[in-house]
Amino acid sequence: MKAALLTAPRQFEIKEVPDPKIVNDADVLIRIKTVGVCGSDMHYYTTGRIGSQIVQYPFIVGHEAAGVVEKIGNGVTRVRPGQRIAIEPAVSCGKCDQCKSGRENTCRKLRFLGAPQQLDGAQCEYVVLPQENCFPIIESMTFEQATLCEPLAIAVYAVERSPLADGASAAILGVGPIGMSVFHVLRTRNVRSVCVTDKIDARLEAARKLSPKWAGNPDRVDVIKEIGEIEPFQMDVIYECSGDQAAISQAVQLLKPGGTLMIVGIPEVDEVSFLIHELRRKEITIVNVRRQNHCTQKAIDLLTSRKINMDSLVTHRFPLEETPKAFDLVANYRDGVMKTMIRID
Ligand SMILES: [Zn+2]
Ligand SMILES: [Zn+2]
């Protein structure tokens, strides 16, 4: 099969590699149709790592994917050949303490599609995954929509994990694809107001279409002062989706006493700091969001029922052969890029 191999930082080669094989009875061979380019892929692309997860070259990235079932193992009952599916990229062991307590997303033996030394990713023609990772979609759902279910599931999980009372005030710091997905989910909830920040004006423009109470660029305006003027009692919940140190500090300042900081973004650095006195005086709760847990079907349902439409998030499309171009575009935030899709035909 054809695959986009990451062979060094910022370097791809499109090459023929052996097809993956069905090994276990529960395995499904999937023909990939679309793969989304994710911010986390960018870390592997530009620096070759996220924390202790270090890429060994050559490596196939990509975890936001959808496709068609090509072949199934003897024990597969969940899907059949020809069926169109969304993919849940996390393969958990089902046996460890975490899995047994329903925390499959922090499984001790978790293997994640397109994560170094775990599983090769989906920027190729075929992948093999257990049947539990295959989610059938209806005929009218496009492969792009099915691919968007992965970031949307993270947003569903982030909102589920947050203590969001009726009429709460919320802010999203960083409205890239994940922040925008959180915004879409918040719009299905009874939230009084949503304020958003981003350093990229094109992203603020996209967010403005979802009617935030306030949207601004922290490079140009005093975010604390301006949001403080319209929300004098400050925020109940903040979704930090940028991974940026300055945004984390702004979040602590923007939260009301007893507020909750949801850490959703992935920092590029190994350590971040907190304004400890403000954090403790206000008794801020910090909640980390590790990808998602049991939210793939919920994300599919939100798109299927048309409660959420995220089609406009997709700004760019490339064939597999142009993977280098796609990653270069996303890494440099060029052309108002939000979500880029790689199409494989
Ligand atoms: Zn992702
Ligand atoms: Zn486990």
Q: Where are the domains of the chain?
A: 2-136+310-343, 153-288
Distance separating alpha carbons of residues 275 and 279, to the nearest angstrom: 6
Architecture category of domain 153-288 in CATH: 3-Layer(aba) Sandwich (3.40)
Per-residue pLDDT for 262 more than 90? yes
345, pLDDT greater than 90: no
How far, in Å, from the CA of 184 to the mean position of ligand 1? Answer: 16
E strand or H helix at 28: strand 27-37
- pLDDT for residue 312 is more than 90: yes
CB 265 within 8 A of CB 243: yes
Nearest to 12 by CA among 304, 321, 220, 265: 321
* Centroid of ligand 1 to alpha carbon of 105 (angstroms): 14
Element (H, E) at 162: none
Confidence of residue 24 (pLDDT cuts 50, 70, 90): very high
pLDDT at 87 over 90: yes
Q: Calculate how far, in angstroms, residue 211's C-alpha sits from the geometric centre of ligand 1.
A: 25
How many other CB atoms are found less than 10 A from the CB of residue 136?
15
Q: Specify the residue for token string 């909750």.
A: 260
* CATH code that applies to domain 2-136+310-343: 3.90.180.10
pLDDT of residue 50 exceeding 90, the answer is no
- Cα 83 to ligand 1 centroid, rounded to whole Å: 23
- Report how far residue 8's alpha carbon sits from residue 327's, in angstroms, rounded to the nearest whole number: 13
Amino acid letter for position 17? V
Share of the chain above pLDDT 90, in %: 97
Mean pLDDT of 8-13: 96
Residue pointed to by tokens 């050559």: 58
pLDDT at 51: 87
Ligand nearest to the CA of 43: 1
Using a cut of 0.85, tell me whether the model's pTM lies above it. yes
Residue 69 half-sphere exposure toward CB, CA atoms < 13 A:
26
Cα torsion 149, 203, 326, 52 to 10°: value is: -70
**Please, what is the average pLDDT of the chain?**
97
* Four-CA torsion 54, 57, 59, 61, nearest 10 degrees: 50
What residues contact residue 142 under an 8 Å CB cut-off, 6+ apart? none
Q: Look at residue 64 in the predicted model and tell me its pLDDT.
A: 98
Point out the ligand nearest to the CA of residue 92.
Answer: 2
Taking every pair of Cα atoms in the chain, the longest distance, rounded to a whole number of angstroms, is: 62
